[in-house]
Amino acid sequence: MDSIRVAERVRRIKPSPSTSAAERANQLRREGRSIVNLVVGEPDFDTPLHIRQAAGRAMEAGATRYTSLAGTLELRQAIVAKLARENGLSFDPGEIIATNGAKSAIYSALAATLEPGDEVVIPAPYWVSYPDMVLACDGVPVPVSCPEEQGFKLTPADLDAAITARTRWLILNSPSNPTGATYTAAEYRALAEVLARHPNVLVMTDDIYEHIRFEGGTAPHLLAAAPELRDRTLAINGVSKTYAMTGWRIGWAAGPRSLVQALDTFLSQAAGNCCSISQAAAAAALTGDQGFVAESVAVYRERRDATAAGINAIPGLSCRLPEGAFYLFVNCGALIGRKTPNGGRLATDDDVVMYLLESVGVAVVAGTAYGLSPYFRLSIATSIETLDDGVARIARAVADLT
C-alpha cells in the first residue's frame, strides 16, 4: 500500500512554511549550491552552561521519572516567581501548566476549548502556526489585516469589527513574529475596552519574545495593563527564545484554574508531562543568572541595525526597525511587476522569494505564509557575516531586475 488515507483534520492543515523553506534551502546546499539561510527562527547561541549543568545534575540525581502532569512544583514555582518579578503578575502554581514548548500550550488550549465552527481572531501578519492549529481543532481562523501603516498592530475598531457571536479567542503575540511589533500598555488598554463589551471572548497572549526587545526592557504585558482580563486570559511563554533552549521543549500556560485544568486533562491523554530533565534545566534558567539575556539581545540589536540599514539601502526594498523578536519583515511591493534576467515577471512575494533563492541562493520566507503580502521575512538569528553576505546577494539580485 503506497498511500494511506489520512484524516480530514490533517488534510486541512499544511506543514510549517518555514520548515519547508528551510528544507528546500538544505536540499540546494546538498546539491552543491552556496546558500545563505535566513529562514530559521531560533537563536544561534548555545544554551548557557549553567543551565546545561543543571540538567546534568538533575539526570545524575535521578530526575528521570514521570513528573506531575502540570510540571514539577520546582518549575511551576520558578514560573510563578518569574511572572511576579518580570511582569508584575500574581499567579499560584495551580494556575500554571508546563508543556512541551509554547507550541504545545497553544495547541492544547485550542483543543481544550474550541467547538466546531468557533472563531479565533488572529491579527495578521501572524505566526504561521496559529491558523493551522485552529483548523486542526475544527475552529475557524479569522485573520485581521494589520497593515504596515498601523505598525502591523491591531486597532480597537478592527478588533470590534472582527468579533462575532462565534468568537472564542483573540490571539495576541507581542513582540510579534514576523514583524517585531510590540503593543504599548496604552494600546493594550484600548483593546481591553473593546473586550469589555465582549465578555465571552478569551484572550491568549503569546509572550515568547518578551525579552528579545531593543528598547525599554521586557515587553509590556496585557494583564499588567488590563488586570480586569485576568479571569479570561491565558498567558503563554517558554524558555526557547529567551535562553536559547529551543531543543529542550519547555513552555507553559498561566491562566484561570479551570482553563489550566482543561489543558491538564487534554494533555494527560494526548502527551503526558514534558521532559523531567528539561524541566530542571528550565527552572535553573528562570532562577539563575540572567546575564545571557541582555548579552544576546545586544548582539541581536547590532544585527538588526546593520541588516535593516543594508536592506533599506536597496532601491525597491524597505523595512521598519522591529522593536523586538529577531526578524525583519521586508516590504518588497516595489519589486512586484519587475522582470527577472531570464524573462520571468515577479507577480507575488512568493515569486520574489523563489527568485532570491534561485538567482543568488538567499533563503527567506514569503509574506503570504504570515497572512500579509507583499513582504518577506528574514531572520537575524545568524552571524553578522552571514547577514552581510545575504544583504549583498539580495542587492545583486534586485539590481538585475528590469
The CB-of-395 to ligand PMP minimum distance in angstroms stands at: 28
- Our CB check for ligand PMP shows the closer of 210 and 351 to be 210
The CB-of-316 to ligand PMP minimum distance in angstroms stands at: 28
The CB-of-387 to ligand PMP minimum distance in angstroms stands at: 19
- Our CB check for ligand PMP shows the closer of 251 and 374 to be 251
3-state SS, 48-99, equals CHHHHHHHHHHHHCCCCCCCCCCCCHHHHHHHHHHHHHHHCCCCCHHHEEEE
The CB-of-47 to ligand PMP minimum distance in angstroms stands at: 13
d(CA 240, CA 278): 11
Q: What is the DSSP letter of 216?
A: S
Which residues make up the interface to ligand PMP (CB under 6 A)?
Answer: 41, 101-103, 127, 173, 177, 206, 208, 238, 240, 246, 251
Strands (DSSP E) contained in 100-226 are 119-124, 140-145, 167-173, 202-206
- Our CB check for ligand PMP shows the closer of 176 and 359 to be 176
Give the Å distances, CA to CA, from 336 to 131, 178, 332, 333, 374: 26, 21, 7, 6, 8
Q: Considering only CA atoms, which of 294, 308, 287 is closest in space to residue 78?
A: 287
- Our CB check for ligand PMP shows the closer of 240 and 331 to be 240
Beta bridge partners of 36: 362
DSSP 283-294: HHHHHS--HHHH
The CB-of-320 to ligand PMP minimum distance in angstroms stands at: 18
Backbone CA torsion sign across 26, 28, 30, 35? negative
- Our CB check for ligand PMP shows the closer of 253 and 391 to be 253
Backbone CA torsion sign across 362, 366, 369, 372? positive
The CB-of-20 to ligand PMP minimum distance in angstroms stands at: 14
Torsion angles phi and psi, residue 254, rounded to 5: -125, 130
- Our CB check for ligand PMP shows the closer of 87 and 340 to be 87
d(CA 318, CA 310): 10
The CB-of-265 to ligand PMP minimum distance in angstroms stands at: 21
Give the Å distances, CA to CA, from 349 to 192, 345, 352: 34, 11, 5
Which residues are CB-contacts of 371 (< 8 A; sequence separation ≥ 6)? Answer: 122, 124, 125, 126, 131, 143, 145
Give the Å distances, CA to CA, from 324 to 196, 305, 327: 28, 12, 8
- Our CB check for ligand PMP shows the closer of 41 and 367 to be 41
- Our CB check for ligand PMP shows the closer of 102 and 335 to be 102
- Chain residue whose CB lies nearest ligand PMP: 101
- Our CB check for ligand PMP shows the closer of 91 and 127 to be 127
The CB-of-379 to ligand PMP minimum distance in angstroms stands at: 10
Indicate left, alpha or beta for 37 from its phi (over 0: left) and psi (-120 to 50: alpha): beta
The CB-of-166 to ligand PMP minimum distance in angstroms stands at: 24
d(CA 342, CA 216): 47
Torsion angles phi and psi, residue 328, rounded to 5: -110, 135
- Our CB check for ligand PMP shows the closer of 248 and 355 to be 248
Q: What is the DSSP letter of 225?
A: H
The CB-of-208 to ligand PMP minimum distance in angstroms stands at: 4
